[in-house]
Amino acid sequence: MSERAKRRQLGRGLAALFGEAEIGGVAETAASRRVPIELIRPSAFQPRRRFAEAELDALAQSIREKGILQPLLVRPFAGEEAEFELVAGERRWRAAQRVGLHEVPVTVRAFADSEALEIALVENLQREDLSPLEEAEAYNRLMEEFGRTQAALAEAVGKSRSHVANTLRLLSLPAPVRRRLEDGELSAGHARALLAAPDPVKLAAEVVRRGLNVRATEQLVQRRAAAPPPKRRRRDPDISALERDLGARLGLRVTLEAKKRGGALTLHYVSLDQLDRVLDLLRA
């Protein structure tokens, strides 16, 4: 099968991933078999990092009552502790362990690493399980490690190219803003608006504090971006000359800051020896 045909198959959805085909209007599924659950290891290409406890508890209860209705998708794995690696179905695998199942149904398919990541990404996107950052990191990994283009990614996961591009841009946000996005304090819409902000960290805090919606956040960013930068006060040349003179005498960097009442003299040292020398001068 050509690479383009594989991407089209991925774009069709989870039915294509499990080898289902329509024959006379009835879905025919690739043969599955049951394997011991301890022979399966989680995927190194799972883009999802968080699994909610309540979600797993609910799925475990469903499995306890009805069993696993859809086989796990796995690929062969030659390891000491496992024979198969999960490709899709980690939620079911985790929930099955909570129930105490000894065997689970699986469909075994041979996938390359890039295909395993794409399939895991498709499964999570279709179930809307991924956070915006998890989705962005998966896209970035496919591009960096496996040479996927944005156009190929969009085709593979059934998204528009602009969606892929805008999602990838979230990775350029400062770490404090990404943490707020990951924790759910900001939505993907908020985060995309903050990409154009002159100080996204400060504005993110203001957006959360004020509870602004996406539209209000966009307007706030536009106002702050259009505001002229504050004028820097011109330093008194006599103050600068005095700093240089004191610095030369003490062998340290010296700063003088005028305030409403008096001012502040700051001596900057880079070693304890410099500090000891200054203390000796002050005690003399």
- Per-residue pLDDT tens digits for 124-139: 776 666 788 888 888 8
Told to judge if 90 belongs to the known catalytic residues of this protein, a careful annotator would answer yes
Q: C-alpha distances in angstroms, 261 versus 69, 92, 257, 264, 266?
A: 76, 68, 11, 10, 16
Active-site residue, from 85, 90, 135, 137: 90
- pLDDT score for 187: 92
CA dist 8 and 161 (Å) reads 15
> If DSSP codes are grouped into helix, strand and coil, which group holds residue 15?
helix
Task: Kindly tell me if the per-residue pLDDT of 24 is higher than 50.
Answer: no
- pLDDT score for 26: 33
Mean pLDDT of 54-75: 87
Letter for the amino acid at 175? Answer: A
In the CATH hierarchy, which fold is given to the domain comprising 3-163? 3.90.1530
Domain with CATH 3.90.1530.10 in the chain: 3-163
Q: How many helices (H) and strands (E) does the chain have?
A: 14, 9
- pLDDT score for 225: 81
Query: What is the overall mean pLDDT for the chain?
Result: 80
Helix H or strand E segment including 122: helix 113-126
Looking at the chain, the whole-number percentage of residues with pLDDT higher than 90 is: 18
- Asked whether the beta carbons of 90 and 42 are under 8 A apart, the reply is yes
CA dist 12 and 22 (Å) reads 13
- Asked whether the beta carbons of 150 and 165 are under 8 A apart, the reply is yes
Q: C-alpha distances in angstroms, 120 versus 14, 127, 139, 158?
A: 10, 11, 12, 13
pLDDT in tens, 161-171: 998 898 899 99
pLDDT in tens, 78-94: 766 678 888 888 888 88
Cβ-Cβ contacts under 8 Å for 35 (sequence gap 6 or more): 83, 84, 103, 104, 106
Report which DSSP code applies to 173. Answer: S
